[in-house]
Amino acid sequence: MLQIRKILTICIALFSIWACSDSNKNKQEYQSMPLGKILAQVGDRIITVDEFIRRAEYTVRPPYCHDDSPIHKKIILNSLIAEKLMMMDLDSHETDQNFTDYLIGRKEQKMRDLLYKNEGYDKAVIHDTLVVKMSQWAMRNYKIHYFAYEDSGISDGILKMVQDGLSFNEIYNGLFKLDSIPIRNVDYFQELDPTITTTLFTKELQKDEIVGPIKTQDGRYLLMQIIGWTSTIPITEPDQKSLASRVGEKLKSDYANLHYTKYVHKIMKGKSMRLNADAFNEFSNLIEKRYRATRENQEETAEMMMWQNEITADFPDEKPVISFSSNRSVLEFDGQNWNVKDLEGLIKTHPLVFRKKNIAAGEFPQQLKFAIADLFRDHFLTLEAYKKNLDKDINVIQDQQMWSDSYKSIIRRNQLLNRSDFDNTPDKSYLNIINESLNPFVNSLQQKYSDSVIINFKEFDKLRLTNIDMFAISENVPYPVIVPDFPLLTTDHNIDYGKILEEK
């Protein structure tokens, strides 16, 4: 619909956006949130400052509210409030089961996000001394020789060879007898394994120095040799402070991942998966056909992702990934048999997430095994999240309400317009429809529900936005799109309704 010249896709870490309330209650406890975090209350719903920023910045805004001007920010606020009003004005509407599953899946993904925050991010304590130490070497980009192996039994022998003064070439050739030694670059801010960054960037290393063997996060062992490095030295004080800040953020992320990995290992300890080869191969062939069909339609898929079409008025008509049921056992996990119907039940709320995005012919069954293993991991983590009552956390409740309200507002909008193709109308047509039909209707809703709207103008006046088009996603999760589409409901900037939220 909208012609966007520049779109920046970004990946958001799981812990990046969090509301500041620890409340486990819903409507009655909104008042317990810090006043400065509430931007508006619409009936029993609230819009926080955080939600306003995410809905404005993490999706593509239309041209009529694309800037940081007061008028454009008022249009954004009116649009978000209009979404809630549309939801409130919708008569009882029977929700399709597929959309119910979708909401459950989104809720449980948010619960796992919060579990990560509690068990990983919040437990990662970073001391300033470590930040200073890492900052000395963090701008080095190492070029290394390396080899990795899985047999822990040979680590002592390799360590003795290093201590005895054997060269890296001698150790490698003695073990592998290959023509060339693998080479790679290691950049502190790009390396994902905290054990590697801790080993390479906490002290000064010399050219040709042998480092390791170390046990990496994926359970393998690694021996490295420093070939050399390039380095960028921050000269000015602002550059030095910026570097220290980036190092601190990276350390927090790395240590959070270490804590959470240990937590996940604890939850999954003793659990194993055994495949029924014939049934699994049949199951794999079915899933691969669907996967290949999706890949062949990449242009359409990319366009859908660009416009965040995870949720539209037609979404409930989508078919689940698996469209058949069978009582034949596909696998055994933790002593329990799982048939196709059982797996379909999990996948309905947790679409399969493949670790590799481009899967070559012949390797799909292996990648499907990984995806199913990750599905079960998330299943058991979700159970832990329920045990901790994270489904009652206000962050989880608000996130689910945001998606539900967005969907219901689209239903109400389409009822009003008597059409379901509004999101696919040409550029000028959609503006005409808003001006002629939606603006008057939204204005009537503002007056109808005026007593149910409270706005915190003190916080609103503090808001600052960019005019960069962004489409934000999370990586390696069942539902990657972070926020719903921007609500195309009104171009009006006048706020002549509601009450002012005042500090008591």
What is the DSSP code string of 299-328? HHHHHHHHTTTTS-TTGGGPPPS------S
Quick one: 80 and 171 in the same domain?
Answer: no
Q: Which residue has the tokens 């990648």?
A: 367
Quick one: 40 and 70 in the same domain?
Answer: yes
Whether residue 130 is contained in a domain is answered as no
Is the pLDDT at 451 greater than 90? The verdict is: yes
3-state helix, strand, coil in the chain (%, to 5): 50, 15, 35
The total number of structural domains that make up the chain: 3
Whether residue 119 is contained in a domain is answered as no
Q: What is the DSSP letter of 481?
A: B
Q: What interhelical angle do 364-387 and 97-116 show, nearest 10? A: 80
Q: How confident is the model at residue 423 (pLDDT cuts 50, 70, 90)?
A: low
Whether residue 266 is contained in a domain is answered as no
pLDDT recorded at residue 504: 55
The model's pTM is: 0.81
Whether residue 127 is contained in a domain is answered as no
pLDDT recorded at residue 291: 78
Quick one: 382 and 416 in the same domain?
Answer: no
Of 344, 359, 387, which marks where a domain is finished? 387
Is the pLDDT at 3 greater than 70? The verdict is: no
Of 321, 355, 387, which marks where a domain is finished? 387
Whether residue 165 is contained in a domain is answered as yes
Distance of CA 343 to the CA centre of its chain: 23
Distance of CA 407 to the CA centre of its chain: 20
Quick one: 326 and 403 in the same domain?
Answer: no
Whether residue 115 is contained in a domain is answered as no
Which of 38-42, 106-110, 112-116, 303-307 has the weakest average pLDDT? 303-307
Of 387, 406, 431, which marks where a domain is finished? 387
Whether residue 155 is contained in a domain is answered as yes
Is the pLDDT at 229 greater than 50? The verdict is: yes
Mention every residue, 6+ apart, whose C-beta is less than 8 A from residue 437: 416, 417
Quick one: 323 and 402 in the same domain?
Answer: no
Whether residue 339 is contained in a domain is answered as yes
pLDDT recorded at residue 165: 85
Which range marks the domain in which residue 22 is found? 8-102+395-500
